[in-house]
Chain A
Amino acid sequence: MQKFLQKDQLAREEHILYIPGAKIFEIRAEQGLPPMALPTTDADFLQSRMHSICVGEIEAMEGAGRTVCDFEDVPWEFTLDMARQVWDESRHTEIYERLLRHVQSTLGEYPESRMLWECACVEDPAARVAGVNRGLEGLACDVFAQLVQLAQKLGDPIIERAVDMVLADEITHVRMGSTWMRKLTEDDPARRQMALDFQHHIDELFNFGGARQDGPADQVSISISREARKMAGFTDEEIDRLVKAASASAAY
């Protein structure tokens, strides 16, 4: 089986439109819209957000699956954890596909950027779990906690409970990522630093030029969730670093 697939090799149904993230941001900017949909600027915020999460879950499932396939020289338990994650992500995909229908949307109503998949292509397993499990699943903690709060405001228990259940899995994925990043880089501080640097690069990329902020759920594109991140095992220092980096992005 071919290892290390690229973004144009992902199998998709014909009705899914792939448009690179930078291009989507450019088109939104032309319309005077922020890079990411905001509850205050986008009438279809909920549909758009559900869609990007659903597509993200598909790519996360594919990413974890590729990690099982791409790396042979790793502990068996690592492969087993990644296989377990494939199972989790496939369940999340089904949940979000149903949530999309719940908000009167459907898969394909918005383009797919494949930004998440690109991050899952790094060739070192330690960097991959640092970037995907700590960087991207950390982002999922922020996004899902925000969605739970918005659902509470909207009085929508279906979204609130479904997303809360998925959030519980994401927290375990972050923890799994932290464990494996440390184990795979034991006795190799340079490799660990490279993995952490990759995670910081992912964090920066997914700050979306300041879209992620330490702010109220209904006023910012992505609200940093200290509570969910702490449950996932991020330290106060790590969360503060992310908040600082996010506000620096906003200044660009």
Chain B
Amino acid sequence: MTAPPTLSVEQAAEAHAQHIVLGDSAAMHQDCIAQVRQEPLELYVQLGTTTFARYAVLGHARIGVQHVFKIRYFGVTTVTVHHRFGTVEGQWRVLESERV
């Protein structure tokens, strides 16, 4: 039986947003499954290279056992993203990110 994740999904989402605002690309990538880092390449390149001053979690919705967070990043440009989280090997991971 897999142990429950150490962080709540809300904490995992906040941590991912903080990594993006801090520009910590190693941590940012660690939050995601490999596919996310590869598929919307342009999005993560932008998130990794833009300086954001802050973020705000605008919404949080459930689909089955997965969670989608609507997070807005404020900086020179403002970007709003849906990050979808699911558990992978007992930890909440970003399964998909999409600019909205």
Q: How far is the CB of B49 from chain A (nearest CB, A)?
A: 26
Per the bound structure, the CA–CA distance linking A15 and B80 in Å amounts to: 12
How many chain A residues sit at the interface, stated as a range, is 10 to 19
B39-75 interface code vs A (CB 8 A; 1 in, 0 out): 0000000000000000000111111111010100000
| A25 closest partner in B (C-beta) | B63
A16 interfacial contact with B, CB 8 Å: yes
A65 interfacial contact with B, CB 8 Å: no
> Are the CB atoms of A17 and B66 closer together than 8 Å?
no
A9-50 interface code vs B (CB 8 A; 1 in, 0 out): 000001111110000100110010100000000101000000
> Are the CB atoms of A27 and B59 closer together than 8 Å?
no
Number of A-B contacts (CB under 8 A): 44
> Are the CB atoms of B58 and A111 closer together than 8 Å?
no
Given the known inter-chain contacts A15-B58, A19-B82, please indicate yes or no for A111 contacting B64, CB distance below 8 A.
Answer: no
How many chain B residues sit at the interface, stated as a range, is 10 to 19
Residues on B with beta carbons closer than 8 Å to the beta carbon of A18? 100
Query: Contact check: which of B61, B64, B82 meets A33 at CB < 8 Å?
Result: B64
Residues on A with beta carbons closer than 8 Å to the beta carbon of B58? 14-15
What are some 30 contacts across the A-B interface (CB < 8 A)? A14-B58, A14-B59, A14-B70, A15-B59, A15-B60, A15-B70, A16-B59, A17-B59, A17-B61, A17-B70, A18-B100, A19-B61, A19-B63, A19-B68, A19-B82, A24-B63, A27-B84, A31-B65, A31-B66, A33-B64, A108-B59, A108-B60, A108-B61, A109-B61, A109-B62, A110-B61, A110-B62, A111-B61, A111-B63, A111-B68
Chain B residues at the A interface, C-beta cutoff of 8 Å: 58-66, 68, 70, 82, 84, 86, 100
